[in-house]
Amino acid sequence: MYTQTEVIKDTTASGSEGELVINMGPQHPATHGVLHLVITLNGETIKKIEPHLGYIHRSIEKMTESLTYRQFTYVTSRMDYLSAHINNLACAMTVEKAMQIEVPERAQVIRVLMNELTRIASHELWIGAMAMDLGAFTPFFYAFREREMITEIMEDSCGARLTMNYMVPGGVMYDIHPDFQKKVKAFVQQFKDKVTEYEDLVTNNVIFQSRTKGVGYLSKEDAISYGCSGPVARASGVSCDIRKIYPYEVYGKVEFDEVLDTAGDSFARYLVRVKEMNQSIRIIEQLIDNIPEGDFQAKTKAVLKPPKGEFYTRVETARGELGVYLVSEGGTTPYRIKYRSPGFSNLSALDHMARGSKIGDLMATMGTLDLVIPDIDR
Amino acid sequence: MFSLEGITKTIQDWLFSSFSPTVALLIECAIIILLAIALFALLGLVLVLMERKVAAHIQIRLGPNRVGPGGMFQTVADTVKLIMKEGLTPDMADKFLFNLAPFIVMIVAMLLLAPIAFAKNFQIWDINIGVLYVSAVSSLSVIGILMAGWASNNKYSLLGAMRSGAQIVSYELSAGLAILSVVVLTGSLQISDIIESQKDGWWLFKGHIPVIIAFVIFLIAVTAETNRAPFDLAEAESELTAGFHTEYSGMRFAFFFLAEYINIFIVCSIGATLFLGGWMPLHIGNWESFNHLMDYIPSSVWFMGKTFFLIFLIMWFRWTFPRLRVDQLLNLEWKYLLPISLFNILLVTLIAIMGWHF
Amino acid sequence: MFLKEYIKDVYNGVTSLLKGMRKTGYYFFHTKEIITEQYPDNRDTLKLAERFRGEVVMLHDENNEHACTGCTACELACPNGTIKVITKFDMTPEGKKKKAVDTFIYHLELCTMCNLCVEACPTGAISMAQNFEHSVYDRNKLTKRLNKPGSKVREGVE
């Protein structure tokens, strides 16, 4: 039982003279969830950041050990909920790899289309949330208008807006909706029309540029040694797009560029994500009229039993590299599943990036890391 | 024709004929106090609703539309809710200062109402140093904010209060210089004189480019002084949760909220008075018939129209721009606004001496 | 040189801000761009995607017959223990025992709408409904019995 003074003393515990320790989170508007940062300040300058995790730990990895190979994919929608499709795909691909299931061409194309739509939706939300972190509330609504079109496409074809559970071992759960192609084309058109709005409101805005340029610098070496992936690493010049390096599904057959930047600051990370959306649009445009006929799902047994062994697959989510490590004992449930989530490694670089900058810079840095807390905690 | 001047004159005549001068004066004071408080409440309700509607339409939303027709009574419902809420005082807070701070901020806002001319000959106190009074009193509100931040015993509040202190002290300078440029042109600090000098055209049009620059600087500086986005560092929702009023709840929070909107109204009315001619109708040179037509619109409508136009501009800023960082905020003031306004006031002085203005 | 840079800075900054204001100003004055859905008011016209997953229902035809044979495939497929099928043994006219569903219990409060039960069902007895307004005051109301009272399995469904 603490007395009152003890509690006070505990929370204000500071190392040396002139230091101020503040607890940012678990309830804070900028941490986008339940991240808890213990920040040591000198005036407004950050001396140290210590992320505390565990507020949204649901032990997804342990849960998975009691679920069958058909059941365990759906839980991963709850990890990085903004790239639910891509998480599900990683799980489905692991099972396919273990069982050596040949996925029909049509299913592969549908999977890639859905993945790229998810990526755009995720980046749209991120633009809005990041602008909101920097104090501009309006771009959020404009970004959500476009994102809404994607969620409607998802709703039509997959039956849900956020946690779709559309990728199943062997293909996709249903065939695409008859309106799918029409709606995606409408979205691509809308996106191309409206993307200038973000340029006017955010990219070219002098306040936004001065808030993000040179802020939260991450060098190429640091990006590698902290294990960063995705747009965070690519903004520092690390070529790490899994879609390019280890092409899966039909990514090897479509033309797109890996977006790289060398500046390594928040603005570079912003630009990388915006350009990535354009590349996703490029992929969608190539595939949308060329969906091959055929089955949308391979014939699989009712009960999946992968052979004994260890299997690892990786995919590129909207945030970076997601790895699924599966140990199978030959039974109906996995022996062990380990997810390598992109958010966790990206968060680990936060302390390094934010040291010596102001609290306002922390918002820009954290915003461009694009943290999804359930992905970090699992 | 509707005129506030006539009403006040009738009331004054009646009071002075029915009571002794002292009693009549006291009754007048009481009426003014009542009117000021009523204006406060009304402005708070209208401006908060306006802010929400402007924000909603900019953000392609509808905004409040449930309470009353078109959501008209939304803010009334909000106020009722805030009155019902408990006003918490945190443990270990300096209770006296904590409770005093919102009232100081409110009182400062109330004091600023005194020299504003709402319509022709409708002014509480036509003091001969009106402009000086406004800039002197408006800088007092930072005391209330610092007090709130310090007394809350909350680190976020303290940071917010410190930011606010640095910000308001710096932006006083360029706001003052912008006001000064009009004072130089007019040659008087009295509000009624300044308005009178714009009879043949507003200073914004008469004073060439330097006055336009002064007007822009004034707008930026008062946005910063009222702690509005993009200069809302003292509150900075995503950084400091709510800054200096993090710990306030219930009616005491409402006072801060109200004071913010009243301050916006006041700085905008000052801006309208100095640059847009206050209650003076729009007159263009020798267009006699046009000027005559403009005179038919009551002076109070002119004043309110101009003020609300400026308020809309400030709201437009808020919902478009991201927030600046604290050092960039000070950079903007000391490296851009202050040198420009110093140079600008030289130009204005030159114009005033040479008589180049219209 | 310095002054030129300085003026250029100010000019570029101000124009970039004005561009943003033009965009927001456009939306302020063009109210037809508003995208708000007036949800509770548009309930009658609200149309959800036909694949939208709101809750699990069991399809009954006009004779109060369903296609559930009580095979419990859905119960096994469910990752959350949402479905509980209580079976009984009916007597067929030939005098043989036949497994049939007695009570099909569905816990809506546990359901994540993953659609695995519908996929698993061999006879297409259950499907997803588009209802999404699930709020009730009593938690017990979320536990539902899906097969209607007195219903029986359709002839010929194995």
Question: What is the complex's ipTM, to 2 decimals?
Answer: 0.82
Higher-pLDDT residue of A76 and B199 is: A76
**Selected residue of B51, B53, B54, B57 to mutate for chain C interface (largest C Cβ count, 10 A):** B57
The amino acid at residue A143 is A
**Measured between beta carbons, which residues in chain C are less than 8 angstroms from residue A205?**
16-17, 20
Contact C24 B58 (CB under 8 A): yes
Q: What is the dihedral of CA B119, B125, B130, B135, to 10 degrees?
A: -100
Supply the mean pLDDT for chain A. Answer: 84
- Tell the residue number behind the tokens 């847009």, with chain if given: B276
Mean predicted confidence (pLDDT) in B259-274: 87
On whether both A38 and A170 belong to a single domain, the answer is no
The amino acid at residue B270 is I
What the block records as the tokens of B227 is: 């702690």
CATH of the domain at A90: 1.10.645.10
| C-alpha closest to that of A84 among A111, A103, A55 | A111
C22 interfacial to chain A (CB closer than 8 Å)? yes
**Alpha-carbon gap: A13 to the closest alpha carbon of chain C (Å):** 43
> With contact defined as beta carbons under 8 Å apart, do A138 and B230 qualify?
no
**Measured between beta carbons, which residues in chain A are less than 8 angstroms from residue B159?**
44, 359
What CA–CA distance (Å, rounded) separates C66 from C155? 9
pLDDT tens digits, residue range A111-127?
888 889 999 999 989 88
Question: How many Å is the maximal CA-CA distance in chain C?
Answer: 105
Residue in B55, B159, B323 closest to A44 by CB: B159
Question: How many domains, in total, are found in chain B?
Answer: 1
Q: Annotate B131-183 with DSSP letters as a single string.
A: HHHHHHHHTTHHHHHHHHHHHTT-HHHHHHHHHHHHHHHHHHHHHHHHHHHHH
Residue in B163, B238, B321 closest to A205 by CB: B321
> With contact defined as beta carbons under 8 Å apart, do A291 and A176 qualify?
yes
> Residue A11 pLDDT more than 70?
no
Q: Kindly identify which residue of chain A lies nearest to residue C129, measuring between CA atoms.
A: A159
On whether both A224 and A92 belong to a single domain, the answer is yes
The phi, psi pair for B245, rounded to 5°, reads -105, 30
Strand locations in chain A (E) = 20-24, 36-42, 45-52, 167-168, 171-172, 309-316, 321-328, 336-340
> With contact defined as beta carbons under 8 Å apart, do B213 and B340 qualify?
yes
What the block records as the tokens of B275 is: 């640059």
Residue-level pLDDT at C137: 92
Contact A210 B328 (CB under 8 A): yes
Contact B58 A138 (CB under 8 A): yes
Banded model confidence at residue A16, pLDDT cuts 50, 70, 90:
low
Q: What does the angle CA B60 – CA B63 – CA B66 come to, to the nearest 5 degrees?
A: 140
On whether both A13 and A144 belong to a single domain, the answer is no
What the block records as the tokens of B97 is: 């200062």
Supply the mean pLDDT for chain C. Answer: 83
A151 interfacial to chain C (CB closer than 8 Å)? no
- The model carries a pTM of 0.85
Banded model confidence at residue A14, pLDDT cuts 50, 70, 90:
very low
Does any domain span residue B251? yes
A165 interfacial to chain C (CB closer than 8 Å)? yes
Higher-pLDDT residue of B34 and B17 is: B34
Mean predicted confidence (pLDDT) in A79-95: 88
Q: Annotate B230-245 with DSSP letters as a single string.
A: TS-TTT-HHHHTTGGG
> Residue B164 pLDDT more than 70?
yes
By residue range, what is the domain housing residue B287?
A: 87-354
Residue-level pLDDT at B358: 64
Banded model confidence at residue B99, pLDDT cuts 50, 70, 90:
confident
Does any domain span residue B263? yes
Most confident of A331-345, B201-215, C83-97: A331-345
Q: Which chains touch B (3 or more CB pairs under 8 A)?
A: A, C
**Measured between beta carbons, which residues in chain C are less than 8 angstroms from residue B60?**
27, 33-36
> Residue A9 pLDDT more than 50?
no
Strand, helix or coil for residue A80: coil
On whether both A136 and A195 belong to a single domain, the answer is yes
Residue in A4, A138, A362 closest to B59 by CB: A138
Q: Is the dihedral of CA B188, B192, B196, B201 positive or negative?
A: positive
> Residue A60 pLDDT more than 80?
yes
Strand, helix or coil for residue B83: helix
Banded model confidence at residue B357, pLDDT cuts 50, 70, 90:
low
Residue-level pLDDT at C86: 86
What CA–CA distance (Å, rounded) separates C98 from A273? 60
What CA–CA distance (Å, rounded) separates A265 from A357? 13
On whether both A13 and A153 belong to a single domain, the answer is no
Banded model confidence at residue A2, pLDDT cuts 50, 70, 90:
very low
On whether both A48 and A101 belong to a single domain, the answer is no
Mean predicted confidence (pLDDT) in B248-272: 86
Instruction: Give the residue from A15, A31, A52 where a domain finishes.
Output: A52
Question: How many domains, in total, are found in chain A?
Answer: 2
> With contact defined as beta carbons under 8 Å apart, do A275 and A230 qualify?
no
Instruction: Give the list of residues 6+ apart from residue A35 with CB closer than 8 angstroms, or none.
Output: A25, A26, A51, A52, A53, A55, A347, A371, A373, A376
Strand, helix or coil for residue A230: coil
| C-alpha closest to that of A255 among A267, A268, A244, A245 | A244
By residue range, what is the domain housing residue A131?
A: 60-377
What the block records as the tokens of B87 is: 């006003």
Does any domain span residue B62? no
Share of chain B above pLDDT 70, in %: 97
pLDDT tens digits, residue range A249-287?
888 888 888 888 888 888 898 889 888 888 899 888 888
Contact A363 B239 (CB under 8 A): yes
Bridge partners (DSSP) listed for residue B117: B123
Determine what percent of chain C falls in helix, strand and coil, rounding each to the nearest 5.
Answer: 35, 20, 45
**Alpha-carbon gap: A270 to the closest alpha carbon of chain B (Å):** 15
On whether both A34 and A136 belong to a single domain, the answer is no
Rounded to the nearest angstrom, the gap between the alpha carbon of residue B9 and the centroid of all alpha carbons in its chain is 27
| A331 half-sphere exposure, CB direction, 13 A CA radius | 10
What CA–CA distance (Å, rounded) separates C116 from A312? 25
C20 interfacial to chain A (CB closer than 8 Å)? yes
Size of interface A-C (CB pairs under 8 A): 66
What CA–CA distance (Å, rounded) separates B116 from B99? 29
| Helical packing angle, B338-354 and B208-225, nearest 10° | 140
Contact A206 C113 (CB under 8 A): no
What the block records as the tokens of B320 is: 């478009």
Does any domain span residue B327? yes
Give residues 118 to 147 of C whose Cβ lies within 8 Å of B.
none
Give residues 5 to 44 of A whose Cβ lies within 8 Å of C.
none
On whether both A135 and A178 belong to a single domain, the answer is yes
| C-alpha closest to that of A368 among A265, A299, A298 | A265
> Residue C90 pLDDT more than 80?
no
Does any domain span residue B148? yes
C12 interfacial to chain A (CB closer than 8 Å)? yes
On whether both A143 and A205 belong to a single domain, the answer is yes
Q: Kindly identify which residue of chain C lies nearest to residue B216, measuring between CA atoms.
A: C14
Does any domain span residue B328? yes
On whether both A170 and A44 belong to a single domain, the answer is no
Does any domain span residue B36? no
Mean predicted confidence (pLDDT) in B234-249: 79
Strand, helix or coil for residue A96: helix
**Measured between beta carbons, which residues in chain A are less than 8 angstroms from residue C120?**
302
Q: Is the dihedral of CA A348, A349, A355, A359 positive or negative?
A: negative
Contact B155 A359 (CB under 8 A): no
CB burial readout B16-50, b (16+ within 10 A) else e? eeeeeeeebeeeeeeeeeeeeeeebeebbbbbbbb
On whether both A155 and A13 belong to a single domain, the answer is no
> With contact defined as beta carbons under 8 Å apart, do C119 and C32 qualify?
no
What CA–CA distance (Å, rounded) separates C23 from B321? 11
Does any domain span residue B158? yes
**Selected residue of C15, C28, C32, C51 to mutate for chain A interface (largest A Cβ count, 10 A):** C51
A213 interfacial to chain C (CB closer than 8 Å)? no
Q: Is the dihedral of CA A189, A190, A191, A192 positive or negative?
A: positive
